[in-house]
A and B are shown apart, each in its own frame.
Chain A
């Protein structure tokens, strides 16, 4: 069975601060995919990034960056110079290749960015 843990329930920062959202996963499979989604108040889950288990290269997309470390089973997400529009709930998720489209989600981290 697989599991995703997001220990931070809620984080509050002031605009322009950097913030890191933690994600730790458990799986017995050697091939899997990790995802991050953003859920604004409207409810729709917005895809941010996908990473496969064989690619530990970190990725940067604008103010967003992701750090994948298989040794610690972590896939952390950093927002640099946060903005009010970043306020949302962020979910980390995992799929094993054997379970096709079944995403296993963490409990989410609510990020509140204030002025």
Chain B
């Protein structure tokens, strides 16, 4: 069974641009969550999608948005990029959007904002 796939693996953008990251969950998983990892703030929850609906959102500005498609694939968008958005963005999938389910992570997208 294929794991969580995130594309692209690396991105370089400049301030003010926007970026879209993609996540394909494990087959059969319907919940997708996104996390941002930086050296200063560590791993922080961005948002979670289940059945194409955002179920939970972390404490991030509105420049960060996402969506989920009917096949459970998810995209994350960051508009008007800032230097501080440079981070490793990790996507995780689980069977359902319940606490007990194990979240399986992808290898991440490393975003550098210049």
Contact = CB atoms under 8 A, between A and B. Distances in A.
Nearest to A93: B43
Given A45-B90, A47-B104, A95-B99, A101 B43 contact: no
Contact of A42 (B42, B45, B102, B107): B107
A39 to B, nearest CB: 9
Interface residues of B, number: 28
B106 interface: yes
A65 B33 CA distance: 28
Interface stretch (A12-20, A80-88, A103-111): A103-111
B66 interface: no
Interface in B49-88: 50, 55-56, 58, 88
Contacts of B58: 102
B101 interface: yes
Given A43-B108, A44-B107, A45-B90, A101 B33 contact: yes
A97 B99 contact: yes
B48 A44 contact: no
Given A33-B99, A47-B103, A100-B48, A105 B42 contact: yes
B42 A102 contact: no
A91 interface: yes
B42 to A, nearest CB: 5
A72 interface: no
Nearest to A42: B107
A32 B63 CA distance: 31
16 contacts: A43-B107, A45-B92, A45-B105, A47-B102, A47-B105, A50-B100, A91-B43, A97-B99, A100-B99, A101-B33, A101-B55, A101-B103, A102-B45, A102-B48, A103-B45, A107-B42
Interface of A: 32-33, 35, 37, 42-47, 50, 52, 91, 95-108
